Amino acid sequence: MQLASLVECLQGMELTDAPDERLLTLSGKPYTSRSAYAALDQVTGTPDAHGRHIWTTRVPNKVKIFAWLYFKDRLSIRTNLFAKHILDDESCQRCSNATEDRLHVFFGCPTSAELWESTALLSDTEVWSANVPSHLDTNLWPFVLLTILWRIWDARNGETFRNEPSTSRRILSKVCDDLVIWRKRLKLDSDVINSRDWHIYLLSCNSTKSSI
């Protein structure tokens, strides 16, 4: 059936010696990831709000891909692996207190919950609606958020597969390090300056937490 459909689609195609050119059928424009998502939005009529935040954020590509999997709930979390019959147990291996689904990994597991409590940035799991302090730039929140989520996931994997001890303070310290390194990826001078304010704030959250 699929072969017959393919043959039907190829009928009438004429091959030439000219270089191949990738075009989107809907627009006739050269293919890019952005144009593909825009075309999908037009077809579905429901723009992907998460995608707009993810693909325009100045984090490394590996973090963008991770974030896309996060919002699609396609990460290799134990509930997903259990549903695929890869694992026979879906409980969290770090705290053993709950099923390891996405919300538990990033918000419910004690280490993650402690991190969010120390930063006071989120009051629930609606991650784009943050309690950003008035002196910080809200436009940089997606940049900061994806960095935090990435480091929580990295810590989870380190503890699960490499027996690396993890604490909320250690995770937040790595987030601060990433913000310094990834600051160079920001295009606007104002964003670079404002990212420093975010860095200082998160450092203060960490130092306050460690002194309690």
pLDDT in tens, 108-117: 999 999 999 9
pLDDT in tens, 43-100: 666 667 788 889 899 999 999 999 999 999 999 999 999 999 999 999 999 998 899 9
pTM, full prediction: 0.81
Distance CA 175, CA 53 (A): 19
Distance CA 209, CA 53 (A): 30
Task: Find all residues with CB under 8 Å of 100, minimum gap 6, and list them.
Answer: 77, 78, 79, 90, 91, 92, 93, 109
At 99 the three-state DSSP class reads strand
List the Cα angle 97/103/107 in 5-degree steps: 75
Residue 133 · residue 77 · CB < 8 Å: no
**What tokens does 137 get?**
């730039």
